[in-house]
Amino acid sequence: MKFFLLLFLLISCSEKNSHYFPLDKIKSWTYAVEIIPEVESKILYKKTNTSIGEKKIKIQNEEKKIFPILREDGTTFFYEITDKGVFRKGVKYLKNKEINFEDSRLVLPSSIKVDESWSNDSKTFLILRRYPYYDYKATTNFKLNYKIMSLNETVKTPSGVFEDCIMIKGEGQTNFIGDSEIGSIGIKITSEEWYSKKVGLIKMIREEQTDTDLFGTTRMIQLLENYKKR
């Protein structure tokens, strides 16, 4: 009896966090993305994530149920839902035949409650300076520390108004060592993400703030424009 009770609790926790990342319920998500640099021109584009459905693959000689997500550039990310949360397990780029299995990246924990926290390795990707013959992008690794801030957010997107959303905030900082002219740049990163039950990620705001006028601060706003159910 105790075993079945424990199993029920584990399944309940797993289902609870997967409601906010419904890989088996949604076929595709389309987002409008706006990148707003302080020193360069604004960039607007759309991106679509398509759920391929549940697959079984071997990871370290162990068969696992994995959910691949195909992006518009041909990159495929692989996710796993466990009793501990939703994890990103690996990535396969368009030009590669093999899946690059990486350290598990926690997307959402099983415990969906205010102040629940975790951290992931990340990279800067917004900081850009355009020159006549080349683009200079400041890319460096850092640790992004996440915390669940709210469980009852109301969010308006082009796809509609969503209630009872969870809001997650990530914070981190790093230094980028440029060339002899640029020197060392301090970077502060903040990320805010909103997830809706049975839909998934509906809004994201990311900001990469530097301590130099050369690059300034760049902001990215991503809003759900459309989604299709299975």
**What confidence score (pLDDT) does residue 17 get?**
53
Q: Give the pLDDT mean for 53-76.
A: 87
CA trace torsion 39, 220, 187, 134 (10° rounding): -50
Q: For position 146, what pLDDT does the model report?
A: 98
Greater pLDDT, 221 or 39? 221
Residue 46 tokens, joined: 């759309």
In which domain, by residue range, is 218 found?
2-229
CATH of the domain at 22: 2.40.360
Q: Confidence class of residue 61 from pLDDT cuts 50, 70 and 90? A: confident
* Closest-CA residue to 189 (of 145, 130, 136): 145
Whether residue 23 is predicted with pLDDT greater than 70 in this model: the reply is: yes
Task: Give how many domains the chain has, as a whole number.
Answer: 1
Q: Is the dihedral of CA 113, 15, 110, 108 positive or negative?
A: negative
pLDDT class of 165 with cuts at 50, 70, 90: very high
Query: Could you read off the pLDDT of 166-197 as tens digits, one per residue?
Result: 999 999 999 988 776 778 899 999 999 999 99
